[in-house]
Each structure stands twice: as structure tokens, then as C-alpha cells.
Amino acid sequence: MPLAIYRRHSTSCKFYGRVRRDSRSQKCDCTIWVQGSLGSEYIRRTLDLTSWQAAQDLVRGWEASGEVGVTQAEIPEIPDAVERFFDDIKARGLSLATIGKQNVLLRKQFVPWCRSRGFRYLKQIGVDEITQFRTTWADGPLSKSKKQERLKGFFHFCVVREWTRTNPVHGMKPVKVPPSQTLPFDEDQVATLLETCDRYPIKGIYTTENRTRMKALTLLLRYSGLRIRDAVTCERARLVDGKLFLYQAKTGTPVYCPLPPSVVEALQVVKSPNKKYFFWTGNGDPKSAVADAQRSFRKLFKLADVVGHPHMFRDTFAVELLKRGVPIETVSMLLGHASIKVTEKHYKPWVKTLQDKLEADAMKGWPS
């Protein structure tokens, strides 16, 4: 039964005793009441109002919010809720990369999708609606899974502020992500890539320095475990006495990684327009510098006839340490992981002690 308003006439009113269907045309100062159901809640109570228009506006606000006692004005519309979410994540100091991913999902995809379907308030969106929104994502399984987690975080933000009762993303089944095995470069592939750096094209603004820069960047990635963004924007001051100061933005844990003399030498001879950095000019968005480096590596891999991508140098760094018996806790610190569980997820099969135990256990089944 939808919400309906009516006047409840007092015994002193000249309209006392009239049926409710005639109430709207009756002009008096008697109190207006509301009766009906909203969601799972049944109500029959006074509004403490005598103005029919004011009573209509109040009840419409309840219906828009989906909750009795909460007016439409108290709950932001979807675009406003999104903007307040962005104000919060910026105040929390999240990285620009994280904010950029949220921007794509919420501002460029979610808000236009809601507008195209006439959704103004979050309470209009349930599990079925949010599942339909997911069908519009033209991403791979891993990207879809990450987007679903971001969307869950946004709705959690809104539930805490009582803009909506439930988080519809909780009712969605997770995206099935096929397992991906960590495949590092082998020693021959690394050697081939380093040799190919000497044949790298000398076109571009750095001309003959292209080869020196590519070899130094390749060596830095291989022996430091840095992500490509951290390597491209690495400051010269971080290299002290043959050790590189590592700073992973996600953890803030300071770690020093000693570098082989050949890597230190290769970095020291790199010439850069900005003396503060090894490879970056310091101008513009670092994202553009990373994109340039990724294009250069694609050209290097093609020239060397090696299949791979720059992040595999980080995998190679971790796997080679684990194969030589370095504890996974130490490797986790060098990689800057927030938790050792992250390291185990990607690299546990390469732990030497685990492999030795597996081999010993398998040999127990041999005939004596």
C-alpha cells in the first residue's frame, strides 16, 4: 500500500465525518496524516502539518530517499555522492594512480550509466541494477575484479553515511580470474636483452645516449626489483655508497638494496636533462615518462626477439633471490609489499626450501 496523505478532521471542524476521498478539496486547518507502506515499514501517523502542499513534498522526499523520516534534501543525488567520495579519498592521501582509476569507474562510467537509466538516488540501485552495470565493462577478468572492489568501497562509503541501506555489490558474485603464473626471465634472456641495448636505435632526443639509458634502466629493474614507474622517476640522491634507497609508496617502508658495481657504474654514466633524476626530465606527468619507457621496452623486446614486459624484471629479481634460499620475508620487504601474503601469492612456488621439501617428499615414494 503506497503512502497516502489525508486530513483528520477534529470534532469542531465543519468537515468532520467526511470520507477521506473528499479530503483534498476540503479547505480547513485540520492536521494532515499519512498512511501506507514504504519498503517493509508500515506507518499511520500525523505529519504535524496543515498545508497540503507541504505534506506532499515531505512524503515525496521520504519516497525518494526510501526511508520514513529522511527527506530527499538530506540525501545527495548520485553525482553529488560521487564527488563527496572523491573529496574523502583525496583527504586520505590516496595516490594519484588510485584516484585516477576511481575517476574512470565512477565519474566516467557509473554516473553516466545512472543518468541514462533515470537513477537519481543510490537507494534506487539494488543487486540486479549493479549487476547490469557490470555487464557494460569491456575489461579483462582481472580488471573487472578490481573494478568490483572499487565499487564496493564506494557503496560502503555511502552506507556508513546512511545514504543507502545496503551495499548492493555484496550481493554480486565475484568475477572469476584465471590464475596467472609468475614467469621471470631466465639468465640467457636477460643477457640477450642487455646485449641488444648496444644495438638499440639512436633516433630521438637522446640519440646515442639511448643505448646507455636503456642498459642502465634494464639493469636497475633487474637488480633492484623496482616497479617501472619507481625506476623511471628514481632520484640520483637515492643511490648512496652502492646502495639504493627504496621507497614503496603503498607501504612507506624504507629499505636499502645493494646494487652490483656494474649497475652502479651504468647509472652513474647516464646523462639526463635534469640532474636530480637518472631518467626523468622532471617535467610533466610521470605517467607520460612511464609510457615512453614502456614503448622503448616493447621496441627492445622485439629487437631482441624476447617475449615479455618490464614487470618481469621485478619477478626475476624476486625469484632469483628465492631460488638462492633468501627468506620470503626478506624478499617481501625488498619488494615493498604491504603483507607477506602478497608475496606468497605470487612467489611461494619459487621458495627454495619449499621446493627442496617437495623433492624430498617425492623421493620417499621411491622403492628402497
Residue 130 pairs in a beta bridge with none
Residue 36 pairs in a beta bridge with 43
CA distance 121 to 80: 10
Q: What pLDDT is stored for residue 25 in this prediction? A: 46
Q: What pLDDT is stored for residue 70 in this prediction? A: 59
Residue type, 305: D
Weakest-pLDDT range from 128-142, 180-194, 222-236, 300-314: 180-194
Mean pLDDT of 222-241: 92
Q: What pLDDT is stored for residue 168 in this prediction? A: 94
pLDDT score of 215 more than 90: yes
pLDDT tens sequence across 157-181: 999 988 888 899 999 999 998 876 6
DSSP assignment of 174-236, as one string?
Answer: PPP----------HHHHHHHHHHHTTS---STTTTHHHHHHHHHHHHHHHH---HHHHHT-BG
pTM score:
0.63
* Cα→Cα distances 229→103, 182, 221, Å: 20, 20, 10
- 187-356: CATH superfamily: Intergrase catalytic core (1.10.443.10)
pLDDT grade, residue 196 (50/70/90)?
A: very high
pLDDT tens sequence across 51-99: 888 888 778 777 766 667 655 557 788 999 999 999 999 999 988 889 9
* Cα→Cα distances 114→34, 107, 123, 125, Å: 31, 11, 12, 9
142, containing H or E segment: helix 141-160
Q: What pLDDT is stored for residue 355 in this prediction? A: 72
pLDDT score of 226 more than 50: yes
Q: What is the mean pLDDT of the chain?
A: 85
Q: Within 10 A of 257 (CB to CB), how many other CB atoms are there? A: 15
Q: Which residue has the cell 633492484?
A: 224
pLDDT score of 322 more than 50: yes
More confident residue, 90 or 256: 90
- 78-171: CATH superfamily: Tyrosine recombinase, N-terminal domain (1.10.150.130)
266, containing H or E segment: helix 261-268
Q: Which residues of 193-213 are buried (b: 16+ CB within 10 A; e: fewer)?
A: bbebbeebeeeeebeeebbbb
Domain ranges of the chain: 4-72, 78-171, 187-356
Question: Contact 164/155 with Cβ under 8 angstroms?
Answer: yes
CA distance 88 to 91: 5
pLDDT grade, residue 197 (50/70/90)?
A: very high
More confident residue, 353 or 210: 210
Burial bucket for residue 34 (CB in 10 Å: 0-12, 13-18, 19+): buried
3-state secondary structure (DSSP) of residue 7: strand
More confident residue, 189 or 251: 189
Residue type, 167: N
Q: What percent of the chain has pLDDT over 70?
A: 90
Domain 78-171 and domain 187-356 have a common topology: no
Q: Within 10 A of 228 (CB to CB), how many other CB atoms are there? A: 20
CA distance 113 to 254: 43
Instruction: Please give the grid coordinates belonging to residue 112.
Output: 553516466
pLDDT score of 103 more than 60: yes
Alpha helices in 22-104 (DSSP H): 52-65, 78-91, 96-102
pLDDT score of 270 more than 60: yes
More confident residue, 124 or 265: 265
Q: What pLDDT is stored for residue 309 in this prediction? A: 92
Q: What pLDDT is stored for residue 253 in this prediction? A: 57
pLDDT score of 248 more than 70: no
Burial bucket for residue 136 (CB in 10 Å: 0-12, 13-18, 19+): exposed
pLDDT score of 21 more than 70: no
